[in-house]
């Protein structure tokens, strides 16, 4: 890998042979003539880096079929100099919203380009370092090639070592911005992502991808095969109540895209619509509702989930705080599957760095509609590398099982594998707590547990891992299986109270801070929030749990 130096810099120059390099006295005692440097290859503190003069065709192919395959390609020379294809940036911009291009920059320094399977690169003679990768099912290839004047072509073979797609799983990124649909298709194919959801959005007076939205089309291309597609939806946003991703809906755009003023909407605009209402309209138009980058911003998310208006909860990375917040709702019986997205807004993020795997079935036709239905069924997992499968009593993620009042035991089976991030540990999560934990080999593992349940519980699988020398992190997490014990409702009182307080905070914002649109809109929105609050509040009391009320939500029955 190229290393970042604190004591050296790469300088590209064009100069007359009689030109001089001038330095501060503590670096060099005298100017260095360009002609002297080029003749000797080294002068004073300067050393020549071999120019890239050998034009070479580089191909990335599937090792099994030998056919070209889209991939992410990185090349660099002995000095760590990035060597891009002829039609790509030599210094890709990493600035926020700055580039619609086909480049990727890891950690601000490691440049790469997405290619369709073949490209042309100018390389220096001598050792050149090449890296090709394609998602989580193919093993990344890193190799060194000695380039000579006879080198005309280099072929890089990518080997598929995991076969989740053949087993009926489809990968997706639920949250991508600021690309053209065709560029999104190329990048998705290069990252092995089957479904890319490209979301139109608004920043004040700045709108993106609305011209690409037609409420009907799913983009694919014969050059990418039938395994990759892009669908344009929208991310509708409010600066405090939250954002909501509306995927795959048909017909006209769901407007307004934003509400309630800066930073998302225009200055002075009123709060005219709730996330819950956007979600309801999306479902009416046949779409899929996702709560993006959960739980931020978090104000109205609680009301949306209690109203059961969301189809999925999105993780950008697998932050423990986000997972714990999701667990609160599962503990109260609100099953929304986990999905993975990147919120990509620039080349500093790769499509599918966090991705969703959804199970369609080995014999099912791969369509966008089938993918949406698979997410709704909750047979999903989120991953930053490892792939998994998980079942309780033979039933997959998203299933609901029943046990008698006496409880019982359930058999849990699982498997996990990784081609890109070494695994370290697999854990069984039961009602938000680690019930079982086992160390695993870095590339593949499988196992089972017998679990005794005395009360209703949800069960999910979690995979931890990390590269050598890096801290262990959560790398994959499944959606849960819900097991209901008769007479034991899903209700965690402490979690329910925090959810109620979150809804109360949303009502307080509507009542006291938000700019009002009109009386009718205000009453409509308040009724929706109050309904969500009372729905959970009544469940809490029916389960026999009483709690301290805030002044605005106190009622006489609580003091009876």
pLDDT digits (tens, 9 = 90+) for 147-173: 999 999 999 999 999 999 999 999 999
pLDDT at 278 over 80: yes
Categorize the per-residue pLDDT at 266 as very low, low, confident or very high, splitting at 50, 70 and 90.
confident
| Residues 353, 340: Cα–Cα separation, whole Å | 9
Categorize the per-residue pLDDT at 471 as very low, low, confident or very high, splitting at 50, 70 and 90.
very high
Out of 31-45, 323-337, 404-418, which region has the weakest mean confidence (pLDDT)?
31-45
pLDDT (average), residues 544-554 = 74
Domains and CATH numbers, the chain: 1-48 (no CATH), 54-158 (2.60.40.1120), 163-380 (3.20.20.140), 385-490 (2.60.40.10), 496-559 (no CATH)
Computed from CA positions of residues 537, 542, 545, 549, in that sequence, does the dihedral angle turn out positive or negative? positive
Out of 26-35, 131-140, 161-170, 369-378, which region has the weakest mean confidence (pLDDT)?
26-35
The packing angle between helices 275-284 and 519-542, to 10°, is 90
Q: Please list, in sequence order, all residues whose beta carbon lies within 8 angstroms of the beta carbon of residue 361, skipping any fewer than 6 positions away.
A: 168
Phi, psi of 506 (to 5 degrees): -65, -40
What stretches of 142-221 show up as alpha helix (H) in DSSP?
181-190
Q: Please list, in sequence order, all residues whose beta carbon lies within 8 angstroms of the beta carbon of residue 102, skipping any fewer than 6 positions away.
A: 88, 113, 114, 183, 186, 187
Give me the half-sphere count of Cα atoms (radius 13 Å) on the Cβ side of residue 176.
31
Phi, psi of 318 (to 5 degrees): -120, 70
pLDDT at 328: 97
Other Cβ atoms closer than 10 A to 509? 18
pLDDT (average), residues 182-207 = 95
Categorize the per-residue pLDDT at 546 as very low, low, confident or very high, splitting at 50, 70 and 90.
confident
Categorize the per-residue pLDDT at 553 as very low, low, confident or very high, splitting at 50, 70 and 90.
low
pLDDT at 540: 92
Distance of CA 181 to the CA centre of its chain: 18
pLDDT at 550: 72
- Pairwise pLDDT comparison (90 vs 130), residue with the higher score: 130
Categorize the per-residue pLDDT at 82 as very low, low, confident or very high, splitting at 50, 70 and 90.
very high
Closest C-alpha among 2, 4, 3, 228 to residue 134? 228
Distance of CA 39 to the CA centre of its chain: 51
pLDDT at 358 over 80: yes
Tens digits of per-residue pLDDT, 382-426? Answer: 999 999 999 999 999 999 999 999 999 999 999 999 999 999 999
Other Cβ atoms closer than 10 A to 374? 24
Q: Please list, in sequence order, all residues whose beta carbon lies within 8 angstroms of the beta carbon of residue 280, skipping any fewer than 6 positions away.
A: 309
Q: What is the CA radius of gyration of the chain?
A: 27
| Residues 492, 23: Cα–Cα separation, whole Å | 69
- Pairwise pLDDT comparison (438 vs 11), residue with the higher score: 438
Angle (CA) 286 291 294, round 5°: 165
Q: Please list, in sequence order, all residues whose beta carbon lies within 8 angstroms of the beta carbon of residue 410, skipping any fewer than 6 positions away.
A: 392, 393, 401, 403, 450, 451, 453, 459, 483
The structure tokens listed for 216 are: 């009907």
- Pairwise pLDDT comparison (176 vs 101), residue with the higher score: 176
| Residues 519, 354: Cα–Cα separation, whole Å | 42
pLDDT (average), residues 538-558 = 76
Closest C-alpha among 266, 291, 275, 209 to residue 240? 275
Residue 555 vs residues 208, 535, 543, 558: alpha-carbon distances, Å: 47, 15, 18, 6
Q: Please list, in sequence order, all residues whose beta carbon lies within 8 angstroms of the beta carbon of residue 435, skipping any fewer than 6 positions away.
A: 428, 429, 449, 451, 459
pLDDT (average), residues 324-346 = 97
**Percent residues over pLDDT 70 in the chain:** 98
Work out the mean pLDDT of the chain and round it to a whole number.
Answer: 94
Give me the half-sphere count of Cα atoms (radius 13 Å) on the Cβ side of residue 184.
29
Tens digits of per-residue pLDDT, 441-451? Answer: 999 999 999 99
Computed from CA positions of residues 344, 345, 347, 348, in that sequence, does the dihedral angle turn out positive or negative? negative
Other Cβ atoms closer than 10 A to 404? 9
- List the beta strands (DSSP E) in 177-217: 195-203, 206-208
Are 377 and 364 in contact by the 8 Å Cβ rule? The answer is no
pLDDT at 267: 84
Distance of CA 205 to the CA centre of its chain: 26
pLDDT (average), residues 520-527 = 97
pLDDT at 27: 82
| Residues 238, 302: Cα–Cα separation, whole Å | 15
- List the beta strands (DSSP E) in 77-165: 103-106, 110-115, 118-123, 126-133, 141-147, 153-158
| Residues 287, 63: Cα–Cα separation, whole Å | 38
């Amino acid at each position: 890998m190229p290393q970042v130096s604190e004591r050296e810099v790469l300088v590209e120059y064009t100069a007359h042979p009689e030109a001089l390099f001038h330095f501060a006295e503590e670096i060099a005692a005298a100017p260095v003539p360009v002609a002297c440097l080029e003749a000797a290859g080294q002068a004073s503190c300067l050393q020549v880096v071999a120019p890239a003069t050998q034009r070479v065709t580089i191909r990335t192919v599937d090792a099994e079929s030998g056919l070209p395959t889209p991939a992410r390609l990185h090349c660099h020379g002995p000095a760590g100099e990035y060597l891009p294809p002829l039609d790509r940036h030599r210094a890709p911009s990493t600035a926020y919203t700055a580039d619609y291009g086909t480049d990727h920059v890891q950690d601000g320094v490691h440049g790469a380009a997405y290619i369709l399977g073949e490209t042309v690169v100018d390389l220096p003679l001598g050792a050149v370092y090449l890296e090709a990768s394609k998602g989580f099912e193919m093993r990344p290839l890193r190799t060194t090639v000695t380039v000579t004047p006879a080198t005309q072509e280099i072929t890089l073979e990518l080997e598929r070592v995991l076969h989740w797609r053949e087993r009926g799983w489809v990968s997706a990124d639920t949250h991508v911005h600021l690309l053209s649909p065709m560029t999104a298709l190329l990048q998705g194919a290069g990252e092995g992502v089957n479904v890319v959801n490209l979301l139109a959005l608004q920043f004040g007076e700045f709108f993106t991808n609305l011209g690409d939205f037609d409420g009907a089309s799913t983009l694919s291309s014969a050059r990418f095969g039938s395994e990759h597609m892009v669908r344009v939806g929208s991310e509708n946003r409010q600066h405090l109540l939250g954002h909501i991703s509306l995927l795959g809906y048909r017909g006209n755009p769901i407007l307004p895209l934003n509400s309630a003023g800066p930073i998302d909407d225009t200055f002075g605009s009123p709060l005219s619509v709730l996330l819950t209402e956007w979600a309801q309209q999306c479902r009416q138009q046949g779409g899929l509702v996702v709560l993006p980058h959960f739980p931020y911003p978090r104000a109205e998310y609680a009301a949306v989930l209690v109203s059961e208006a969301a189809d999925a909860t999105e993780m950008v990375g697998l932050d423990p705080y986000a997972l714990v917040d999701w667990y609160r709702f599962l503990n109260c019986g609100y099953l929304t599957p986990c999905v993975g997205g990147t919120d990509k807004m620039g080349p500093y993020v790769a499509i599918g760095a966090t991705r969703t795997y959804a199970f369609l079935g080995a014999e099912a036709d791969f369509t966008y509609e089938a993918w949406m239905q698979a997410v709704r069924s909750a047979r999903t997992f989120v991953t930053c590398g490892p792939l998994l499968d998980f079942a309780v009593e033979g039933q997959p993620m998203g299933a609901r099982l029943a046990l008698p009042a006496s409880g019982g035991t359930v058999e849990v089976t699982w498997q996990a594998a990784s081609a890109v991030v070494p695994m370290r540990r697999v854990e069984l999560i039961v009602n938000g707590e680690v019930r079982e934990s086992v160390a695993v080999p870095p590339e593949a593992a499988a196992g089972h547990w017998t679990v005794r349940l005395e009360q209703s519980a949800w069960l999910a699988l979690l995979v931890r891992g990390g590269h050598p020398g890096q801290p262990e992190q959560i790398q994959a997490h499944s959606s849960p299986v819900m097991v209901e014990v008769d007479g034991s409702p899903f209700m965690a009182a402490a979690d329910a109270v925090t959810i109620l307080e979150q809804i109360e905070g949303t009502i307080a914002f509507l009542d006291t801070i938000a700019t009002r649109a009109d009386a009718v809109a205000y009453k409509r929105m308040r009724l929706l929030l109050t309904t969500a609050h009372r729905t959970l509040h009544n469940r809490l009391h029916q389960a026999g749990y009483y709690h301290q009320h805030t002044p605005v939500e106190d009622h006489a029955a609580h003091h009876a």
